[in-house]
Structures are given as C-alpha cells and as structure tokens.
Amino acid sequence: MAKFRRRTCIILSLFILFIFFLMMGLKMLRPNKATFGDPFGLEFLPLLHQQTRLGKSFDSQNNDKINRETSNKNLKSVEITMKPSKVSEPYLEELQPLNYYLHVFYYSWYGNPQFDGKYIHWNHPVLKHWDPRLTKNYPQGKHSPPDDIGSSFYPELGIYSSRDPSVIETHMKQMYSASIGVLALSWYPPGTNDENGENTDDLVPTILDKAHKYNLKVTFHIEPYSNRDDQNMYKNVKYIIDKYGNHPAFYRYKTKTGNALPMFYIYDSYITKPEKWANLLTITGSQSIRNSPYDGLFIALLVESKHRYDILQGGFDGIYTYFATNGFTYGSSYENWARLKFFCDQFNLLFIPSVGPGYIDTSIRPWNAQNTRNRISGKYYETALGAALHAHPSVISITSFNEWHEGTQIEKAIPKRTSNTVYLDYRPHKPSLYLELTRKWSEKYSKERATYASDQKLPLS
C-alpha cells in the first residue's frame, strides 16, 4: 500500500510539473505587444476579437460615437453593425513610402446637425429622369438621414460631417494606409457650391494640415461652377496658388523639363468651348497663364473620343477619364486606354486613367440601374487597376475615396439594415478591403512605373 501511495505521489508531482512547464511555454509564445486584456489565441477568432477591441478602437473617434448615439435615439429599426478592430489597419511605420503618382478624388461636402446644423448631401434628393414619363415610375423627394441616406452603402464613420477634424484625420490615415500619395479635392470658388451643398473652401487649410501630418499632398479638382470661363478661371487659379501654394502639402508634379508645377483636374471641361480654354492655356491666349507664376498642369476630362482634339485645341496638358463605369463612356472604357495613351504620347500630354471599385447610383438615380457595376468582392477594382497599369500611365487616379452617392468609395463601409433598407457592404471581407487592395496595387504600380519611366522620360520622384 505504501509503495502504491509513493507511486501515486510521484505521478501526481510529474503531472503538476508538466502543467507548470506547459503554462510557462504558452506564456512565452504570447506576442510581445499583448497585454493582460486578451487571452492567448484570441486573434484566431476574428469576430470575438473585434468585440473585445471595440471600445479601444473607437473611443478616440468622438464624432462616430455621437453620430451613432443620435442614430440609435432616432431609430426603432434593426441595425447590423460590424466594426473592425485596430488590427485591420496596418501600423503606419510598417508601410511602404507613399506613391505620389496615385491620386484619389476626395469630397468634403458632407454635413450633419452636430457640426453644420443640418444634414448636407446625406439627404441628397432623388434625381428626376429627363423623360417625365419615366420619372413617375420612380420614388421622388429627398433622403432622410440618419436612417435613410443618399447612398447604397453606409460609412463606418456614420453620417459624418466633413467639418469634423477627427473625420478628416481618419480619412488621411486611411489614405496613408492605402499608400495613396495625393488627394484631388473637389473644389468650388468661395461663394459658390454644388446645388446640394455649401461652399467648403474654408476647410482647405485644415485638409492641408491633416494631409501634411501623413505626408499626403493635395491637388484641386475644379468643379463646373456657374459661368466658369477663361477669365474667372484665371482668377481662381491665382487665388488657389496665392492662398495655398506655399503650404508643404500643396501638390506639384515634376515635369520632364524638371519644373515642379501645380496640377488642376478640370471636371466637365468639355462644357466650355476650346476657344475659351485656349485664351487661358496657350501662350498667345488673351488670358494666358503660361510662363507666369500661376502656370500649372491642367488636366481635362475626356468623355467622348472627339474630345481629344478639343483638348488639344484648348491647350490642356493632359486628360483623365473620371468615371468608374467601364463601358459607360469612351474615356472610361478600358479597351480604349491603349489608344488614348498613344494619342497622349504623340502630343506630349499626360494620360491619367481613372479606376474605381464599382458603381451604383440608384439611391439618387433609381432609373440608372443599367450603369451599375458590381464590385465582385474587389475583382472589378483589380481588373481596372490591371488595365490602367497595362497602359503605362503617367499617373493613375481613383474614383473615389468618398463619393458615396455613386457608390465608388474605397472608404470603409459597414453592414447596416433598417426597417426599409439593407445597405450594401464589403462582406465577406473587412471594411478595409479596398484600402488594402489599393495599397497592394500602389506598390505594384510604383515598381512597374520605375521600369518604364526612363524610357518615356517620366519623372521618377
């Protein structure tokens, strides 16, 4: 009996030692940056891990918290919300340098009651079809935030205001994480605005400051403000350069001749006759900006094939295609990009194809379903990026960071369901899917551009 007890004690002691060393080994396997909060192995359970990190991830985003509290008070609907943990965003110091030949169109026209006293753009009206007989077949009126917004997707930041400094900061951080080097800011001159918004020129200093914090640059996407012509364009370019040109985040493109010039995207440039543009953009023009302190690179929107020659006559420095709908216009059709690049090379123009993750604007144009382009879990976006790289462009532009009305955003979106609407989202992937894809292709573009830039005598930095 004594021998049995002794044997039992030895076995029990060995078992205890085994458990002790096993626990010590597991403790040593814990990641260095782990704290006492998360049990070992939690990172392998994504949904549970998101729940435990929820508070830490978003406590710093006061606007998001306030917007969601407002939403919860006003809604009796069922809402599905999935928020990613901080793990979904790469650490800034681990990222590759930014690609300043990758631009993204950015919109600062959103508003909410907290910062603006009312909703702006989120309550976008449903636009009427040009044929009154068709209009009557579709919903009319305006959207009613926060439950009902003018978008088929729902932003992770909630119904934000573009005036919220924390929102601007988050946007810059997301662009940085995507290795985007330049944001093309939608811009109207002081005192003017689009028909659904308000003027936001006063936001430019904050946007420049926040961009500079993340080494981003800012260029201007000049919108078709009322009565835009050669004379007021000269004044507005002068205004932009005089007021913002000395800021370290103000973008300049280094040309083949070594000059570093501001770049201006001109939306709907075809509305103005080429003779008017020639007054501004040719050396002999009556309002010529050439060889002056306000000279720059002026990029025209090409929609139809015939616009190529109007762009030449107008004295533009390049073309971009903007629309994220393959096949919608001549310019936005991937199959035409090689021909457009050849044309640009012939006449020493910059070719800037525009790529997008998809397109759906039926929340504001319910009659336009034929132009919807499904995202196919990122495949549509990658196809567009591949086509752009194949054309060996000077610059690639992305439509868009946050044009929510047309569903072209790469900004983070989340699942959301209300009593009347089920919003689209990026599942089964994370809300950061399109930022991650952008970073992947940005790095690929940077490497490929370096291989053909010397042959085309393009700037390398």
* Predicted local distance difference test score (pLDDT) of residue 34: 35
Between CA 23 and CA 20 the distance in angstroms is 5
Instruction: Tell me how many domains the chain contains.
Output: 1
* Predicted local distance difference test score (pLDDT) of residue 460: 59
Residue 48 lies in a domain: no
Q: Pairing between strand 260-266 and 252-254?
A: antiparallel
CA nearest neighbour of 457 among 316, 350, 385: 350
What's the CATH code of the domain at 289?
3.20.20.80
| Secondary structure class of 402 (helix, strand, coil) | coil
In angstroms, how far is CA 398 from the centroid of its own chain?
A: 7
* Domain extent for 413: 104-454
* Predicted local distance difference test score (pLDDT) of residue 97: 86
* Predicted local distance difference test score (pLDDT) of residue 139: 86
CB proximity list for 276: less than 8 A, separation 6 or greater: 229, 230, 314
CB proximity list for 102: less than 8 A, separation 6 or greater: 179, 180, 181, 182, 395, 396, 398, 438, 442, 445
* Predicted local distance difference test score (pLDDT) of residue 132: 85
Residue 365 lies in a domain: yes
Between CA 1 and CA 184 the distance in angstroms is 86
Between CA 72 and CA 90 the distance in angstroms is 30
Residue 123 lies in a domain: yes
Residue 49 lies in a domain: no
Q: Which long-range contacts (CB under 8 A, 24 or more apart) does 12-19 make?
A: none
Residue 332 lies in a domain: yes
Q: Is the peptide bond before 146 cis (omega within 30 degrees of 0)?
A: yes
* Predicted local distance difference test score (pLDDT) of residue 63: 37
Residue 54 lies in a domain: no
Residue 55 lies in a domain: no
End-to-end, the C-alpha distance of the chain in Å comes to 85
In angstroms, how far is CA 165 from the centroid of its own chain?
A: 17
The token duo for 233 is 């364009």
Neighbours of 230 (CB within 10 A): 21
Residue 160 lies in a domain: yes
Report, as ranges of residue numbers, the positions in the chain whose pLDDT lies below 70.
Answer: 1-10, 12-13, 15-96, 455-461
* Predicted local distance difference test score (pLDDT) of residue 133: 84
Q: What single string gives the DSSP state of each residue in 146-195?
A: TTS-SSSB-BTT-S--TT-HHHHHHHHHHHHHTTEEEEEEEE--TT---T
Q: What single string gives the DSSP state of each residue in 308-326?
A: HHHHHHHT-SEEE-----T
pTM of the predicted structure, to 2 decimals: 0.80
Asked if 334 and 384 touch (Cβ cutoff 8 Å), the reply is yes
Between CA 316 and CA 312 the distance in angstroms is 6
* Predicted local distance difference test score (pLDDT) of residue 2: 54
